[in-house]
Amino acid sequence: MALKDLVTSCSGFVLACLLAITLQIFLFSPISPVSLKLPPLSSSSLLPKNNILQRVIKLGDGLLLKPEDVALDKEGTLYTATRDGWIKRLHRNGSCQNWKNLNSHTLLGITITNEGDVVVCDVDQGLLKVTENGVTVLSSHVNGSKIRFADDVIEASDGSLYFSVASTKFGLHNWYLDVLEAKPHGQLLKFDPLSNETSILLDGLGFANGVAVSKDQDFLVVCETWKFRCLRYWLKGDKRGKTEIFVENLPGAPDNINLAPDGSFWIALLQLTSDGMEFVHSSRAAKHLIATSGKFVELVNGVHKKATVVNVGTDGKIIKKLEDPNARVMSFVTSAVEFEDHLYLGSLQNNFVGKLPLNVA
């Protein structure tokens, strides 16, 4: 065979292989992506860099497996749901108690009601109530469909429970595919404890995550992770039932949000993309390719590289930003709760709750 023929047949073979791989990637892709606009870089340079989150004290180190969210009751007992299915309690005297086992690896947002009950989101089962006497499912269906990926919950003073569904399409283990697809599959739901009914308040949200109620109970804030913004949903007044942007172009992708005692909010921000991988979000072809392998997704996903929380006023202005810029002590911080001049930080990477005195911040 002449060299020329060999080159021709080889390149033909290579071309056929490339075509086969491409078809494979597009036909069997788990996502049908669109382009995602990342916030302008200027939004992250507004506030000075710092490493304040490296000063946390580690609570329950090694005993609390990836505590995504934390809540404190009026007495100062801390509750968190861990990856091994426990609702654990940290008492003021420092002791860590395995309180209730819910036999689930997918417990996320947690809150304490005015009556002192614990309500927790389970990605698989929906909204659960946990008391000394046991566990009950409060809400598992909405509008005839099973609730998938309940993410965060908050109680309003009238007893209504507002909770988010991050994605009706993807699950907790492949949540990043929702980011890559960049189509809004999130919802804001309401559970009415008088009728036991669940209704859809907002649909088509970009990974609906943290939910908080304002100090005056006049609005809700719900965060849309890959839209880098949070929405304000009015509960009272002329704008009741209306939605507007609360804060946008956040210097990170918002996860949980919690009301601070002064009426402002603490929002945990995720570094959604590894440095240098931003181009993936504007290329449908790159997204299809990345979605074929968990290893590729890990390369693009930047959540383990950093920790950031911001304090945002009721006017939607960022007041403060606290970071661990190189994940030396904490990364993938998913929640920040203020209680008695300290911040308590949950994470889907660390096996402790971080406690930060706010007088150093």
Return residues touching ligand NAG (CB under 6 A).
91, 93, 95, 143-144, 195-196, 200, 203
Contact 184, 204 (CB under 8 A): yes
Question: In angstroms, what is the minimal distance from the CB of 136 to ligand NAG?
Answer: 7
State the binding partner of 91 from Ca ion, ligand NAG, none, CB within 5 to 8 A by kind. ligand NAG
Q: Is the CB of 203 or the CB of 218 nearer to ligand NAG?
A: 203
Looking at residues 134 to 163 of the shown chain, list those that interact with Ca ion (rule: CB under 5 A).
Answer: 151-152
Q: Which stretch binds Ca ion (CB under 5 A): 57-65, 87-95, 108-116, 123-131?
A: 108-116
CA terminus-to-terminus distance, the chain:
74
Question: In angstroms, what is the minimal distance from the CB of 64 to Ca ion?
Answer: 16
Nearest to 160 by CA among 242, 220, 243, 206: 220
Q: Which stretch binds Ca ion (CB under 5 A): 31-39, 86-94, 208-216, 306-314?
A: 208-216
Q: What 3-state DSSP class applies to 176? A: helix
Nearest to 266 by CA among 361, 169, 135, 139: 361
Q: Does 256 bind Ca ion (CB under 5 A)?
A: yes
Rounded Cα distance, 270 and 281, in Å: 16
Kind and range of the H or E run holding 320: strand 318-324
Question: In angstroms, what is the minimal distance from the CB of 288 to ligand NAG?
Answer: 28
Q: Is the CB of 150 or the CB of 291 nearer to ligand NAG?
A: 150
Q: Is the CB of 75 or the CB of 340 nearer to ligand NAG?
A: 75
Give the list of residues 6+ apart from residue 268 with CB closer than 8 angstroms, or none: 210, 254, 255, 256, 257, 308, 309, 333, 334, 335, 336, 345, 346
Contact 63, 78 (CB under 8 A): no
Question: In angstroms, what is the minimal distance from the CB of 268 to Ca ion?
Answer: 8
Residues found near Ca ion in the complex (CB under 5 A): 69, 109, 151-152, 209, 255-256
